[in-house]
Structure 1
Amino acid sequence: MDTIELQRIARIENDNWWYRERREILSAELLRFSVPGTAVDIGAASGACCRVLADHGWSATAIDLSPDAVALARTRGVEAYEGDARYLPLPESGYDLALALDVLEHVEDDTRAAAEIARVLRPGGTALVSVPCDMALWSAHDVALGRVRRYSRRTLVDLLDGAELVVERVWSRGVLHRPLLRLLRNRTVRREDLAPLHPVVNEALRLSAALERRLPTASWPGVRLFARARRPG
């Protein structure tokens, strides 16, 4: 992640509908655990998800390739270290939960990154992964964000299976937003397109995301996929 993109995320993440939605999903997943434990957030950027983990009583560590991201996370009270998702500077079997949210699509060797997720989890530990889905939606926006692929359900499951993780659930998000994304997918992206959304647009997207949580759309085509997987043990 370059410095400009990091600054953009830090500027918008408190109010942006997607970052808020991602934190809601993480909070809901944390309710599955009877007691908090240790967690690592891979590709943590400014450490927003680590703060969610801390709010739920977890001991959280942030890892990011960008030294600027690490420095920013530390200024926000997050334990953060510089590291590559393919070669995590972490001990084997050290964590109850590993997050890789909107990360794997940026990594050329995602097989290696998935194997590292499995390596740092304790036996019985959980991985929570999110990725953009469907190469049919590939656009200039993906290029601008530094992505190298989008995933199908099959390719995501195969990736996690290949890392010897047991996939427990795969579900879609952004089902209600997909028609708009398909409409815009071939539009040229300018730097200002990565700026904060207009408040009215942002609120409309937030409300539609909240509505989607109440609808039986998890198996429908969306714009992102989430997966929960477990290291056997």
Structure 2
Amino acid sequence: MSQTVKPGGGVLATVPQHQWLWSPADVAAHHVKRYSRRVLIDELRAAGFEPVKVTSFVSLLLPAMMAARLRSKETADVEGELGMAAPLNSACFAVMRLEAALILAGVPLPAGGSLLAVARRPS
């Protein structure tokens, strides 16, 4: 990314958060690792970017995510995690929209299943 973003330009990145959440679902999703906030910031800086904002998301659903991961420690049930009934999917979507509104309002979310980073390449 650092080679393709012009000086003054920026990037949005989302990565999985919390190594303790690692499960077969990460392998199925082709994740290489789960990041801490510090590691993500360090890697952005090493690539020549200056972090503007880094926040967690999938915060309000983190307990449900933890339960799903504990339940499927042995095998990846990605289809099961994503193939939920329509009413439950609608409820999760509403929760994620609430989180998006909180992030846009500047509310920091300290923990979550993922991290969102906004970074810019210095001019």
Residue 117 of structure 2: aligned partner: 227
Answer with 1 or 2: which has the greater Rg. Answer: 1
Residue 33 of structure 2: aligned partner: 149
Of the three residues 164, 167, 182, the one matched with 2:51 is 167
Number of aligned residues: 117
**1:1-233 superposed matches below 5 A:** 117-186=1-70, 187=72, 188-190=75-77, 192-193=79-80, 196-215=83-102, 217-233=107-123
Aligned equivalents of 1:146 and 1:200: distance in 2? 28
User: Is this contact kept in 1: 2:25–2:78, CA < 8 A?
Assistant: no
User: Is this contact kept in 2: 1:144–1:189, CA < 8 A?
Assistant: yes
User: Is this contact kept in 2: 1:173–1:218, CA < 8 A?
Assistant: no
Aligned equivalents of 1:167 and 1:212: distance in 2? 20
Residue 191 of structure 1: how far off its partner (Å): 6.2
Deviations 1:135-169 (A, max 9, x none): 01111211121212010100100100001111111
Residue 195 of structure 1: how far off its partner (Å): 5.6
Amino acid in the other structure paired with 1:211:
L
Segments of 5+ residues of structure 2 without an aligned counterpart are none
Structure having greater relative contact order (Cα 8 Å, sep ≥ 6) = 2
User: Is this contact kept in 1: 2:57–2:109, CA < 8 A?
Assistant: no
User: Cα RMSD between the aligned structures?
Assistant: 1.8
Structure 2 length as normaliser, TM-score?
0.85
Amino acid in the other structure paired with 1:183:
A
Segments of 5+ residues of structure 1 without an aligned counterpart are 1-116
Q: Give the percent of matched residue pairs that are identical in Structure 1 and Structure 2.
A: 35
